[in-house]
Amino acid sequence: MEASNAAAIGGGGGGGHLLASILFRIFGRGKRYYGEKEVVMKVVQWIRSACFVVREWAVVPGLRFLVLACLTMSVIMVLDKIFMATVSLFVRLARRSPSKVYRWEPFADQIDEEMQQESIDNYPMVLIQIPLFNERQVYHVAIRAACNFSWPSERLVIQVLDDSTDLVVRELVKEECEKWIRKGININIETRDNRKGYKAGALKDGLTCSYVQKCEYLAIFDADHQPAPDYLKQAIPFLIHNPKIGLVQARWKFANADECLMTRIQEMSMDYHFKVEQEAGSSTFAFFGFNGTAGIWRIIAVKEAGGWNERTTVEDMDLAVRASLKGWKFVYVGDIKVKSELPCTFKAYRYQQHRWACGPANLFRHMFLEIIKAKDVTIWKKFYLIYSFFFARKIVAHNVTFIFYCLVIPISIFFPQVEIPRWGVAYIPALITILSSVATPSSIHLALFWILFEQVMSFHRFKAVHVGLFEGERVNEWVVTEKFGSKNKPNNVKNGVDHKKPQSKLWERVNVTELLLGLFLLMCASYDLAYRVKNYFVYIFPQSLSFFAIGFGYVGKFIPSNV
């Protein structure tokens, strides 16, 4: 009798059978509870009806809306990538290098001793700014590189902006600078007792020093950057002979790209950024986001733009946008390469990506109206800044990667009535992968790992974008990216610790959020495999494994906190 009643209440659904069975166990003992059975039946029927209404009238339409929104964002993203790839390809095929588009003349060599002073006077005064903050492993790298420039010492001012709170590091920086001072290099140390404005505040304060006023150009290098001795001679001529150029940006090359799989993957993303994004922006609208280092500014352009501003954590991009709105042109020169270091730990990379995703979104919030109201640029450049540079690359790209591929597609498995076209699930992601990985041909065989890693990172970038857009709690968080100078010491050994081997216990490396997302994706893939709903399990299983791998800390290197 109870079984037949349970079947009647269940209405044929597995969930109904289970719910009815539980309720009958609670209320169905003895004839005195017979009246309660009728109530239970009504309650179960009401719950089933309510669930059906919510599913059909709220969940399914909401999911369909998300699918449509994500497909639209995917099209926006892929069209922007096709545009940039086309421009970059044209530049290469037409051999339109910056030295052919803009006037560029090398510095004349000294002919004899009589002409020596005259030759030196032809060199403009250049200020080198090197901002530092507790970078024990690499504090000396940029200082030594700047002191070895093949540039007359009389025409060069090096300024080390040391905000370090570690007194040992401050002393090391001081000793390094004094060593070069004794060799006749014009090097100045500027320290602060606070970190107001972080890097932007240090750069801003540095420009107020009296000895800076005689300088025409400003070159900036982060601590780990190693420009070649002829860097200034290669880049400065663009500024000398083209008065409307305000910034010359060099390309980054990575000394530790082969350190681990995570650095190889980062190299792919960064090569795409420089070889495609920067080059396309430079070749079309003479604009791109300044990278904060390995670039040379015309100081008058910095001043006209309003100087450094610490309102966001991307002071470099902020200055670039404001200078561009004043009519200044930017040139990316890919032939000039500056060595630097990629973050080799997941923690360092995660903090870096938070800043790089949150800052631009927050800057977009601040500058949207400024861009629209700008009078010194064309409407097409405004459109490029708002739509392509900010919306498509800084907002859409981070949202669609997480929402569509990590949430909507897996959840759609439980709703067969929600259909996603094959071109949205397969063709567009494949095209994006091809366009993004060709910039590093030597690592194209790692494209699958790149996809999986980028999807895990999309969660952190998604959060950061919304923190920036809505000015959340971490909007102004600034954590300096840890650098270890790993390629500067043999066998990757520092302080007696081999960084290739994890030196910590498992729970010290665990990332709980990644594990939970990995579990969610594993459930979706398992359900799809069991019931053959949409066959998305083929790529959701590897996706879940990548979340688990990073969740358990098996990515990059792990540097114990006591090292």
Residues 115-145 have pLDDT tens digits of 466 577 789 999 999 999 999 999 999 999 9
Measured distance CA(455)–CA(486) in Å, rounded: 27
User: What's the confidence (pLDDT) of residue 44?
Assistant: 77
311-340: average pLDDT: 97
- State pLDDT tens for residues 475-484: 999 888 888 8
Average pLDDT, whole number, for the chain?
Answer: 88
CB of 7 closer than 8 Å to CB of 1: no
Q: Which of 163, 222, 224, 528 is catalytic?
A: 163
pLDDT band for position 560 (50/70/90)?
Answer: low
Question: What number of other Cβ atoms are within 10 A of residue 516's Cβ?
Answer: 12
Alpha-helix runs per DSSP H in 11-58: 14-27, 34-54
Average pLDDT over residues 168-187: 96
Active site residue 316: yes
Which position has the token pair 């500027």? Answer: 190
Whether pTM > 0.85 for this model: the answer is yes
Percent pLDDT > 70 in the chain is 86
CB 281, CB 465: distance < 8 Å: no
Q: Which of 162, 224, 316, 528 is catalytic?
A: 316
For residue range 8-40, list pLDDT tens digits in order. Answer: 334 444 444 555 555 555 545 444 444 566 777
Residue 112: pLDDT above 80? no
DSSP string of 113-171, one letter each residue: GGGHHHHHHTSPPEEEEEEESS-TTTHHHHHHHHHT-SS-GGGEEEEEEE----HHHHH
